[in-house]
Structure 1
Amino acid sequence: MYTLNCKGNLIDLAIPKVMGIINVTPDSFYDGGKTTVLRDIVAQAEKMVAAGTTFLDIGGYSSRPGAKDITVNEELERLIPVVETLSKEFPETYLSVDTFRNAVAEQAVNAGAAIVNDISGGMLDAEMLPTVGKLKVPYILMHMKGTPQTMNSLAQYKNVTKELLYYFSERIALARKAGINDIVVDPGFGFAKKREHSFELLKHLELFKTMEVPLLVGVSRKSFIYKTLENTPQEALNGTTVLNTLALQKGASILRVHDVKEAKECIRLLHAVYNTD
């Protein structure tokens, strides 16, 4: 099974792990504006750590469709104080920085982050792969087309699963060439993908095991869930749990979620089922 080397510690992914989402943005689709004050961010992180998260993924740039672009300095101003504080408050929890900019990734790792999570897979910053290779941290390589501002208009595929498998094989090779040892792939549910594309990817998710790297799945409260169920992001926890369970059965090693307790329960129950004599 897979492991990730985080700050010299090997994280065993034989039993899947949870990555809690900490958005320090005013405009994220589900929790935008809830956690822009440092005290509130620490309280949210504390709740996730108590619920058993292994990772906290901190994002200072909203990547929801059509989100406003911000400067590198604005992103750093949001992120770095949070990374510094959480790395001191929760030294046993591994921080991931959600950014597609190499300068932000480098400063965040220097401030205490252990993982770089790049929604663009290095496509939006040519220096990202070399920078992560130099930093010697795990790299989450996601699939997206265009930018958060343009991705919805680019959601066209002949065969979405085949196109993503080709994309990942190409990007993984480039990441390896840049000196990145630990790579995680993320299909990017909802990023330049229509509702039917996300369901198609889930249907064939086990095919991503051919990449021979860990698979991260992030479907938490996304629009393809709540639009199908005709409810809202706030009402989409049950739908998220159903699809997280399916993703685990098809080989997901990490669940990126807003709701850590419920994701941990999925993992524990499935582990009990498959480890019963």
Structure 2
Amino acid sequence: MSPRHPAPLPAHLRQLDRTLVMGVVNVTPDSFSDGGRWFEPTAAIEHGLRLLEEGADILDLGGESTRPGAARVPLAEERERVLPVLRALVAAGAVVSVDTSRAALADEAVQHGAAIVNDVTGGLGDEQMHATVARSGAVYVAMHWRGPSDVMDGLARYDDVVAEVRAELASRVDHAVQAGIPRESIVLDPGLGFAKPGAENWPLLAGLDVLGSLGLPLLVGASRKRFLGHLLARPGGEPVPPSERDGATAAVSALAAAAGAWCVRVHEVRATADAVRVAQAWTTARSAVRDTTGENRG
């Protein structure tokens, strides 16, 4: 299945028939994945440009950590972290996604060239977000979210995680469309790791087709998440650290791409850029084999 590319992405991305790769640029001092390694603007800009060279199609720029237990930062501080880096990356030709749950910053970021607003709260964190994005004309990523980072693990109660996430995302889509965001400009993210600290994540990955039945592109953000650390745990049961989860991340990226995901969001780009191309070649060949053997014939 070819990934669905939302409008109004730049033409060169809409023309691609493979899953896109979104590289993460954290302009934060407390990210779970890199511990503030790219916090200084110059370092963040250089890192973003390096991710582009390694194969990133989109850069996801965020100035507020959403790791479990993270506290919020003031809007002014988030703004000061994000905008200088955003302007430099846009000037360098990057397609930039702003990772924020604040409508005011989303609005300003789009004015400075951001093409995508990646909202981890799906509009629940700021009641002005959907109307703001509607006016901006940006692509809108709505993630499944049940509460802030400092309480989200206590909200991980599911009878059927796939069905419940699908229903809650559908509700967010309805709200976004009512606010004026064109349906064709909406992307959905199952929110791996958000109010899903452990095994709940695997059914969501296995059920991407169920989430895809909403008819919208899917963004998969498994990169370096806790559930991968637990999967790869050492003999004593200690999860491997985030920096040792990139191989598993690339494997998830390949599987998500084979399942038709629009985009995968990752910290280490090169391996995933290779993985999505492998997935594309495999699915293309698989389809051709089915056509040759008559499996796809009515």
Q: Distance in 1 between matches of 2:4 and 2:17?
A: 7
Alpha-carbon deviation of 1:184?
0.4
Contact 1:3 1:10 in 2 (8 A): no
Amino acid at match of 2:6: L
Pick from 22, 28, 31: which aligns with 1:28? 31
Other-structure match for 1:126: 127
Contact 1:23-1:32 at 8 Å conserved across structures: no
Aligned-partner Cα distance in 1 for 2:9–2:144:
26
Partner SS, residue 27 of structure 1: coil
- Supply the distance in 2 between the matched residues of 1:65 and 1:85 (Cα, whole angstroms): 30
Residue 268 of structure 1 aligns to a residue whose secondary structure is helix
What does 1:138-149 correspond to in 2, within 5 Å?
138-149=139-150
Question: Cα distance, 1:128 vs. partner?
Answer: 0.3
Shift of 1:7: 6.4
**In the TM superposition, what whole-angstrom CA distance separates every residue of 1:74-111 from its partner, at most 9, and x where no partner exists?**
1111111111111112x1x2100000010010111112
* Shift, 1:232, TM fit: 1.4
Q: 1:64 aligns with which of 55, 64, 67?
A: 67
* TM-score (ref. length: structure 1): 0.95
Structure whose alpha-carbon radius of gyration is higher = 2
SS of residue matched to 1:140: strand
Within 5 Å, give how 1:16-95 maps onto structure 2. 16-89=19-92, 91=93, 93-95=94-96
Residue 242 (structure 1) aligns with: 251
Contact 2:258 2:283 in 1 (8 A): no
Counterpart CA distance in 1 for 2:280 and 2:158 is 35
Shift in Å, 1:8: 5.9
DSSP 3-state at the match of 1:247? helix
**CA displacement, residues 165-221 of structure 1 (integer Å, 9 cap, x when unaligned):** 111111111111212120000000000113111112112121111111100000001
Q: Tell me if structure 2 keeps the 8 A contact 1:83–1:108.
A: yes
Note the 1:141-220 alignment, pairs <5 A.
141-181=142-182, 182-220=185-223
> Which region of structure 1 is more displaced relative to structure 2, 10-19 or 156-165?
10-19
Structure 2 residue runs of 5 or longer lacking an equivalent are 234-239, 289-298
Partner of 1:3: 5
Contact 1:6 1:115 in 2 (8 A): no
What is the one-letter code of the residue matched to 1:234?
S
- Contact residue 18 and residue 256 of structure 1 kept, 8 A: yes
Identity %: 37
Deviation at 1:51, TM superposition (A): 1.5
SS at match of 2:6: strand
Aligned equivalents of 2:5, 2:220: Cα separation in 1: 17
Match of 1:263 among 257, 272, 280: 272
TM-score, normalising length: structure 2: 0.89
| Conserved 8 A contact 1:26-1:36 | yes
Residue 34 of structure 1 deviates from its aligned partner by: 0.5
The one-letter amino acid of 2:78's match is E
Q: Does the 8 Å contact 1:24/1:32 carry over to 2? A: no
Q: Which residue in 2 is equivalent to 1:222?
A: 225
Q: Offset at 1:274?
A: 2.2
Letter in 2 for 1:188: G
TM-aligned CA deviation for residue 10 of structure 1: 6.5
Q: Secondary structure at the match of 1:141?
A: strand
